[in-house]
Amino acid sequence: MDNVKLLVKRSQKGDTRSFEQLVTLYQDKIFALSYQLTGNYADAQDLAQNVFIKAYRALPGFRNEADFGTWLHRITVNLYINERRKKRPEVYLDKPVQTGEGEMPRLVASGTENPEEAFEKKEFRSMVRDALWKLSEEHRAVLVLREMQGYSYEEIAQMLDCTLGTVKSRINRARLALKKQLFQAACSGKDNLP
């Protein structure tokens, strides 16, 4: 039996030290996902904390059939979607853009990049970030899980407790919606040219 399953079993029997070890093992991954979903540090901290609170309360019902990390990711995405539905949409002006390698750094012109190229890259990143935030919570969540977190379709289906076909459909629709938002942003940007 691997270490995680042993920690889960002990936690289910009320061993809080074992649960603390599980939190230590998964806190960075859950925070990273929370940050990519929420777009800011404070909300990501709140979401990650709520994930572990919910996981602790739901732990007696966890049957060890799924991977514990996958189960935590499912809780994270579901809490995020539920919270977003309760709140009015917020607009963040300074959201970092996420990539498969992590957060995109602020663009500073290097010695090999001229100021025009640096400006164009910064504008493109801003356009992608804004387009991503105009998507529904469900579409943003599947894109973050697939494109930024790098999960397979099967893993996402397990996290979201839906069929593989549903995941593929949602990702396809999310990509089309993102493409449409980017096209609209590009077209509106042309209208603002002198």
Query: Is 2.70.70.10 the CATH number for 95-194?
Result: no
- pLDDT for 75 equals 93
Query: Is 3.30.70.260 the CATH number for 1-90?
Result: no
Query: Domain boundaries in the chain?
Result: 1-90, 95-194
- pLDDT for 118 equals 66
Question: How much of the chain exceeds pLDDT 70, in percent?
Answer: 81
pLDDT digits (tens, 9 = 90+) for 95-129: 444 444 444 443 333 445 567 776 777 777 777 77
- pLDDT for 87 equals 65
Q: Is 78 exposed, middle or buried (0-12, 13-18, 19+ CB in 10 A)?
A: middle
Question: pLDDT band at 72, cuts 50/70/90?
Answer: very high
pLDDT at 50 over 90: yes
pTM attached to this predicted model: 0.62
